[in-house]
A and B are shown apart, each in its own frame.
Chain A
Amino acid sequence: MVAVAETEPSSLRVQDVSKSFPAPDDPLTRRQALSNISLSIAPGELVSLIGPSGCGKSSLLRLIAGLDSPDSGELLIGSDPIHEPSAERGLVFQDPNLFPWLSVRRNIEAGLVARRVLREKRNEVDEFMRLVGLEAFADAYPHHLSGGMAQRVAVARALINHPKVLLLDEPLGALDAFTRMRLQDEVLRLWENRRTTMLLVTHDIDEAIYMSDRIMIMTQRPGRIDRDITNALARPRDRSSSEFLRLRSDILELLHFAGDATSLSA
């Protein structure tokens, strides 16, 4: 729809990134969360990152968002290194984290206000509220919204800045199965319209297969990328097709296999 990202390179590259955190029980020892992670995402690609909980998926996303900095390695958007958060990398958490003191409309506007461009781009607010189907709730406060609606607002709030990359940290993890499937379709629709590069962290294998071009599987402690599976299933995808189910069982097998391998090597 709005051709923004097309002209600029929005590829994301992560090169040999490691990150450790102080252990919660003993602050003097540091625990390796990510170890020599490398990945790259092409402009307009939708990539999923799956793996067991605690494998560092969210830490990696925070690094890409610029909220944390790596111990070593480099993160790049196009050719610009990432060293602080910026509106060009939107982030949606599992908890929508809407500002409870702002109405739905004001939450969606927040990015424009923060960048001091509200006056020029006010008309986009309506467009984004329509895009996520929340015009009727413009003046509602977040605690009146259902989980699915709140997450729609969170996605609209992140997209209004036209980020080059949208980072999704288990955005649909807290929703019920039906709402989740509906929102998966909505996010896909937004992605197909706008071709924003997206990196989706999830632990729902079906979601990863249904949505993404590529699925990266992470292993635990220290986190590293174990497999990188290209998902060539034709869109729109049928969750019950035999190809879908085959890919699903392959990944399940890989995850088990990956789990065994780490425990053997450790």
Chain B
Amino acid sequence: MRKLSWRKPSPSPSPSKGEATHVPQGYVTFVRTRPENNSTNRLQNSSTLPWPMQLAVPVASLITFGIHLLLSKQSPPLETHSYMLLFWEILGVSIVLAIAQSFWSALRQWMRHMWPIFAAAILLLGIWDVITLGFHLLPLPYFPGPAAVLRSLISDRALLLDSTWHSLVLLLSGYTLGVLVGLVSGVCIGWSTSVRYWGMPLLKVVGPIPATAWIPLAMVVSPSAIASAAGLIALAVWFPVTMLTASGISNTRASYLDVARTLGAGRAYLIFRVAIPAAVPNIFIGLFMGLGASFLTLVVAESIGVKSGLGWYVSWAQGWAEYGKVFAALIIMAAFFSTLMTLLFKIRDRLLVWQKGIIKW
């Protein structure tokens, strides 16, 4: 009986002594990797940014600023005061931040991450200036330089702000409607076989039609252009949300449902506490696809029927050949849409903490 005691899980002192010759080797490699980790940590947590990185933004803005000064002397007099002011501001802020980062580590982390991108963006403005104002490589009325765009942005700010607001209201009302209807129809199609039988063919036939293709019909049917645009956006969002929700729900692991049933779960628990949470990663893919589709539909609807919003502003400015304003509106659209995307990413990260480390996209 005692002879067999080596099979027991509790380690007796003698065998562990016997293994001791092997153990240190493992520890040696472990210890050897530690200093490397520490050295990278030291680099990350050092009390100041490296000089090249601190200087990146001020230098980039000085270069771009210099380019602009040179070019604006050659070309016909332009009102570039605001553009100059912008550079003084960038220069000032970047110097203040370069000083502040040595006291504030969160700011330093952020700058380490963002500064190279900012510097590149500022240099890009300089290149844009060279191409347009410097060498006239692009036909002029259509491609104004950055200073002219900034001027339009500032001079027309009231109308731009108003347009952005209208776009936001229209987009959010259409998106919310589409998401709500899409979630309900997706859950029904995913859960119930009879709803899937009748609903899936409809989804497969109607869904792939681009929402913008309905515009002629929508204009006839609905009394108000805004309402029909909201409806079209909702339609564009509804399809991907329904599709992905349905597939997420119907692909819920059967064993989760089995476990829940043996825990005494009724239908409501199975749907709302098992199938829907299990489908959330899929649902978010649908939400992202829907958001992209909603941007497209919004801009098209605004430039065709609706008499407000950024899409309308772009085509209106184009009508007056004010391409500075077109670019100004495009810049605002970029900021507007990417902010909404980022917001959705943030919501997803909050809701899917349980997935952290499982999926990355």
Interface residues of A (CB under 8 A from B): 62, 65-67, 84-87, 89-91, 93, 95, 97, 99-103, 110-111, 113-115, 141-143, 157-158, 161, 177-178, 181-182, 238-242
For A142, list chain B residues within 8 Å (CB): 354
How many angstroms between the C-alpha atoms of A238 and B4 in the bound complex?
Answer: 11
Q: Which of A100, A157, A238 is the most central at the interface, judged by chain B CB atoms within 10 Å of its CB?
A: A100
Q: How far, in Å, is B16 (CB) from chain A's closest CB?
A: 14
Residue of B nearest to A242 (CB): B1
Q: How far, in Å, is B94 (CB) from chain A's closest CB?
A: 41
Q: Is A86 touching B264 in the complex (CB atoms < 8 A)?
A: yes
28 residue pairs of the A-B complex, CB under 8 angstroms, read: A62-B258, A66-B262, A67-B262, A85-B261, A86-B264, A87-B263, A90-B263, A91-B259, A93-B255, A95-B255, A97-B253, A99-B277, A101-B277, A101-B280, A101-B354, A103-B354, A110-B263, A113-B269, A114-B264, A114-B265, A141-B356, A142-B354, A143-B354, A143-B357, A143-B358, A158-B262, A240-B1, A241-B1
B260 interface hit (Cβ, 8 Å): yes
Q: Apart from A87-B264, A101-B277, list 7 A-B contacts with CB within 8 A.
A: A85-B261, A100-B354, A100-B355, A101-B354, A157-B263, A161-B264, A240-B8
Q: Is A240 touching B260 in the complex (CB atoms < 8 A)?
A: no
Known: A90-B262, A141-B353, A158-B263. A181 touches B256 (CB 8 A): no
Q: Is A110 touching B262 in the complex (CB atoms < 8 A)?
A: no
Known: A143-B358, A178-B9, A240-B1. A97 touches B259 (CB 8 A): yes
How many angstroms between the C-alpha atoms of A66 and B256 in the bound complex?
Answer: 15
Residue of A nearest to B276 (CB): A101
Q: Is A99 touching B263 in the complex (CB atoms < 8 A)?
A: no
In the complex, chain B residues 249-280 whose Cβ is within 8 Å of any chain A Cβ: 253, 255-256, 258-266, 269, 273-274, 277-278, 280
| A interface footprint on B325-361 (CB within 8 Å = 1, 0 otherwise) | 0000000000000000000000000000111111000
How many residues in B have their beta carbons less than 8 Å from beta carbons of A? 30
How many angstroms between the C-alpha atoms of A240 and B288 in the bound complex?
Answer: 60
Residue of A nearest to B358 (CB): A143
Q: Which of A62, A101, A157 is the most central at the interface, judged by chain B CB atoms within 10 Å of its CB?
A: A101
Q: Is A114 touching B256 in the complex (CB atoms < 8 A)?
A: no
For A115, list chain B residues within 8 Å (CB): 263-264
Q: Is B263 touching A114 in the complex (CB atoms < 8 A)?
A: yes
How many angstroms between the C-alpha atoms of A114 and B7 in the bound complex?
Answer: 43
Known: A101-B280, A143-B354. A239 touches B258 (CB 8 A): no
How many angstroms between the C-alpha atoms of A161 and B259 in the bound complex?
Answer: 13
Contact of A91 among B253, B262, B269, B357 (CB under 8 A): B262
Q: Is B358 touching A161 in the complex (CB atoms < 8 A)?
A: no
Q: How far, in Å, is B220 (CB) from chain A's closest CB?
A: 45
Contact of B256 among A84, A97, A103, A182 (CB under 8 A): A97
B194 interface hit (Cβ, 8 Å): no
How many angstroms between the C-alpha atoms of A142 and B357 in the bound complex?
Answer: 12
Q: How far, in Å, is B347 (CB) from chain A's closest CB?
A: 15
Q: How far, in Å, is B238 (CB) from chain A's closest CB?
A: 25
Residue of A nearest to B3 (CB): A240
Q: Is A113 touching B273 in the complex (CB atoms < 8 A)?
A: yes
For A102, list chain B residues within 8 Å (CB): 277, 354
Q: Is B277 touching A114 in the complex (CB atoms < 8 A)?
A: no
For A114, list chain B residues within 8 Å (CB): 260, 263-266, 269, 273
How many angstroms between the C-alpha atoms of A43 and B183 in the bound complex?
Answer: 47
Known: A91-B262, A141-B354. A99 touches B274 (CB 8 A): yes
Q: Is A87 touching B262 in the complex (CB atoms < 8 A)?
A: yes
Known: A114-B269, A141-B354, A181-B9. A67 touches B264 (CB 8 A): no
B5 interface hit (Cβ, 8 Å): yes
Q: How far, in Å, is A60 (CB) from chain B's closest CB?
A: 15
For A103, list chain B residues within 8 Å (CB): 354
For A100, list chain B residues within 8 Å (CB): 354-355, 358
Q: How far, in Å, is B261 (CB) from chain A's closest CB?
A: 4
Q: Which of B9, B266, B277 is the most central at the interface, judged by chain A CB atoms within 10 Å of its CB?
A: B9
For A62, list chain B residues within 8 Å (CB): 258
Known: A93-B255, A141-B354. A111 touches B263 (CB 8 A): yes
Q: Is B353 touching A99 in the complex (CB atoms < 8 A)?
A: no
Which 5 A/B pairs are nearest by Cβ-Cβ distance? A87-B264, A240-B4, A85-B261, A114-B265, A111-B263
For A66, list chain B residues within 8 Å (CB): 261-262
How many angstroms between the C-alpha atoms of A264 and B269 in the bound complex?
Answer: 50
For B259, list chain A residues within 8 Å (CB): 91, 93, 97, 99
Q: How far, in Å, is A90 (CB) from chain B's closest CB?
A: 6
